[in-house]
Structures are given as C-alpha cells and as structure tokens.
Amino acid sequence: MKHYYSLNEYYKNKYGTKVYKLSISGGMTCPNRDGTNGARGCIFCSDGGSGEFAEQFCQDIGAQLENAKKRVSAKIKDGKYIAYFQPYTNTYAPTDYLRRIFFEAIQPNYIVGLSIATRPDCLEDDKIELLKEINVIKPVSVELGLQTIHSKTAEYIRRGYPLSEYENAVKKLLEAGIEVVTHIIIGLPGETNDMILDSVKYAGRFSDGVKLQLLHVLKNTDLYEEYKKGAFETLTLEKYTDIVCRAIELLPENVVIHRITGDGDKRLLVSPLWSANKKKVLNYMNREFEIRKIKQGSKLIEKKT
C-alpha cells in the first residue's frame, strides 16, 4: 500500500496553507435533465444535481461565497478558499454568462482558485478559451464526471456521452494548461473489480486528479427503483476499502486523490448506510491503509533476508 497524494497535501504544496473549497451554484441545469439528452438525469443523480451541500443559487456570487465561508470559518483561521461551482453542469450556459459568474467568483482576495464541475460535452472552444484566460489570473481546475470507461455501464447510468467526448475535452483542457480532475464511481451495477480498476487506471493516465466516489443509492432517483427491485447490491465497507486500496496502487504518484469516498445527503441516503458516518469510514479506511503498508513492509524485509 503506497502513500497517496491527498488533496490537502497538494493544496499545502501549491498554496502554502490549508485551502477549503466553497461549494456554490451557477444556476445552470444539465443536458441530461433539460430534455437535450434526456429528462431524468443520470440514474444516480439526485434532484440537487449531485451537489446537495452547495449554496442555494442566487445571482450574487459574492454573497454565495460569503455565506459558504461563514459556515466553515470556525474551522479555518486566515485560510484560503477555492470557489467551487458544484451542482449540475457548470459550463452549460452562454459564455457571456459564464464570464460574469466566474469573474465574480475569483474576485475576493481570499479566493485562490476556481473549480468547475461539468461535462465534457459542454466544453466548447470559446468556453475553454474563457477558462484559459481565467487560469492566468487564478488557477482553474475542471472536474469531469466520467464515472466509468465501460460503454455498457455508461449507457445504463445514462451518462449521455461517449468516451471519445471525454478524451477530446481532456485534450483541449490540458493543452490550455487547465487542471483536469476525473470522477470515478466505485460500485456501479454490473461492474466487476477489474472493470472498476480499468476505469481508475485510465483516468489516472489523463488526469491531474481523481475523485473516487462510492456509489450511493439516494431517494427519488431511478437507481433507487432498480435497487428496490433487487437489480444490484451496494458495496460493504470492507469491499469498498479493498478496491480503493487497489485503485491507489494503480494511480501514478503525482495524481492527486481528491476524495476516497463520498458522503451522500443523509436525508436522501438509502444505501449503503454505513457511508453516513464519514468519520468512522475514514478512520477504518486509514487504519486499513496502515495495516497494508506494514504488511508490504514486512514482505520487503522478508525478501531482503
């Protein structure tokens, strides 16, 4: 079990201090929801567009940032922050509108960077140009919800774009000098461990950072309907931890691991319920990482003697 490059460590190296992400809303929808690709969204996506913890949308981006900052300011003294447009698809709007909200978001002195969650099929050239322009002022990173490289699963979850679309977008972003973070969901129905690890390995080749997310079943999603029918089971903590350990082994050392689990909104969470206790989950996972490191260490000693 090797050491992994955590987001905290990365931010400390990059900004010289602890940095928090302030999750805000750009007021956009998503092509999987507005009828362009479909109206029901990805099969696992909640009504909140996978961003339940973000600030409610209001036109005043500065006010959203201030509110979000107030919520964490007790934990962080003189820290720095990243403005994080999280829910729905945050480049799914005319470029003029994006220009206004993104520039507003990087305005405050305490904001050191901009992070944008979006889809690869919503990154037209003029939007990449805009991000490139902002990147010169404050670093920009783009998060892409790839989730899987397997077309059968992508179809099942209604991702709504082919893998080639992701590759095109990543190529353009990297050429523009913009950081790419790829989301992979662990535990998607029908996927074996090998399939999951193939997706992780692939994401590691193309990305500066990877977010590993546990599949959650949330109320009011089509995934919940599938779950009720018994179409699949969610992972146990032990199985999930084992896959994450193997995923970390596969990722290049310089790839930042932004997240090793997710915490779905407790009011909506149906399964796995163990994931609701984030602190306990992270303690268990970190303990497991240490045990594996010790075991690997002793194997090396055995080899030497």
Binding region for ligand SF4 (CB under 6 A): 30, 32-33, 41-42, 45, 49-50, 88-89, 119, 145
Comparison of 33 and 292: residue with beta carbon closer to ligand SF4: 33
Residue 39 CB coordination number (10 Å): 9
Q: How far is the CB of 119 from ligand SF4 (least distance, A)?
A: 5
Rounded least distance, CB 42 to ligand SF4, Å: 3
Q: Please say which residue, 115 or 241, places its beta carbon nearer to ligand SF4.
A: 115
Give the nearest distance from C-beta 38 to ligand SF4 in angstroms.
8
Residue closer to ligand SF4, measured from CB, 45 or 256: 45
Which among 90, 106, 24, 12 has a CA at the least distance from the CA of 59? 24
In the chain, how many H helices and how many E strands? 10, 9
Pair of tokens at residue 269: 């969470």
Q: Which of 101, 116, 89, 98 is nearest to 28 (CA)?
A: 89
Place of tokens 């009504």: 47
Residue 119 or 172: the one with the smaller Cβ distance to ligand SF4 is 119
| Minimum separation from the CB atom of position 299 to ligand SF4 (A) | 41
Residues 6+ apart with CB under 8 A from 119: 30, 31, 89, 91, 92, 144, 145, 160, 161
For ligand SF4, the closer CB: 26 or 139 = 26
| The two three-digit tokens of residue 27, written as one number | 């007021």
In the complex, minimum distance from the CB of residue 182 to ligand SF4, in angstroms, rounded to a whole number: 14
State how far the alpha carbon of 210 is from the alpha carbons of 6, 118, 145, 292, in Å. Answer: 10, 14, 10, 21
Instruction: Give the Cα separation of 145 and 142 in Å (integer).
Output: 10
